[in-house]
Structure 1
């Protein structure tokens, strides 16, 4: 039994890192999902505050999303849901599914 206890941490230490799941999910959106995400981005006025070329967003209040490697999908979901600073929270106004799709869209479109 002691060999099994040692083997698990050793196997974990030797495991090679894989691509983040959210990046894979974001890059696998269908054309329809991309269009829905773009529509959400524009209908909720995200483009008024954020730069995102794919959605024709040219705002300068919030951070530019284009090429922004500092945020991941979980960060986007949290910020859209809860807001912070000048960013309003949309939790309770948008469904969890809409927020998830919007975050996946932003992750794919910002590259």
Structure 2
């Protein structure tokens, strides 16, 4: 917080010194601190739960999924592609984020094997982020 005040002071008033900014930071009321804490908590809660590493997800996908799902298609069941419209129609509880994809990859279903024991949780989150990003872009 003090660093934020100092950087703001550097751009707003050359007359403000480190000591006057420091005093202002110390004099912040408890109510201001609570508001700041609540704002930070709200920001943390609103962030997506599975913001995976898409670049790593591409590597995981290439090594584990592309044999059946090259280019977002499905060589086993042609109608169950990884296109966004297909994901919406056949993934249980798909709400537009990675959670349903994570569940499917982790647990498998029908002809799709479960990767929960083969891949780490972060790898599954990464591949889910990759698949969703490609689906939204139209593969």
TM-score tier, shorter chain, comes to 0.5 to 0.7
Q: Quick check: 1:49 aligned with 2:30?
A: no
**Deviations 1:67-104, CA, capped at 9 Å, x for gaps:** 33504411111111111100000112100011011111
1:1-111 alignment, distance < 5 Å: 21=48, 25=51, 33-44=53-64, 46-52=65-71, 58-62=73-77, 63-68=80-85, 69-70=87-88, 71=94, 72-111=97-136
Q: For residues 20 and 85 of structure 1, what CA distance do their matches in structure 2 show?
A: 32
Q: Unmatched 5+ residue regions in structure 2?
A: 1-45, 89-93
Structural RMSD (CA): 2.6
Cα 1:88–1:98 change in 2 (3 A) is: same
Instruction: Give the aligned length.
Output: 81
Q: For residues 64 and 20 of structure 1, what CA distance do their matches in structure 2 show?
A: 28
Give the secondary-structure state (helix, strand or coil) at the position aligned to 1:90.
coil
Q: Report the structure number with the largest CA radius of gyration.
A: 2
The answer to whether the Cα contact below 8 Å between 2:74 and 2:82 also exists between their aligned partners in 1 is no
* CA deviation after TM superposition for structure 1 residue 58, in Å: 4.7
Give the secondary-structure state (helix, strand or coil) at the position aligned to 1:92.
coil
Cα 1:91–1:106 change in 2 (3 A) is: same
Cα 1:87–1:20 change in 2 (3 A) is: farther
4+ aligned runs moved over 2 Å, structure 1: 19-23, 57-60, 66-69
Q: For residues 69 and 115 of structure 2, what CA distance do their matches in structure 1 show?
A: 15
Q: Unmatched 5+ residue regions in structure 1?
A: 1-18
Q: Which has the higher helix share?
A: 2
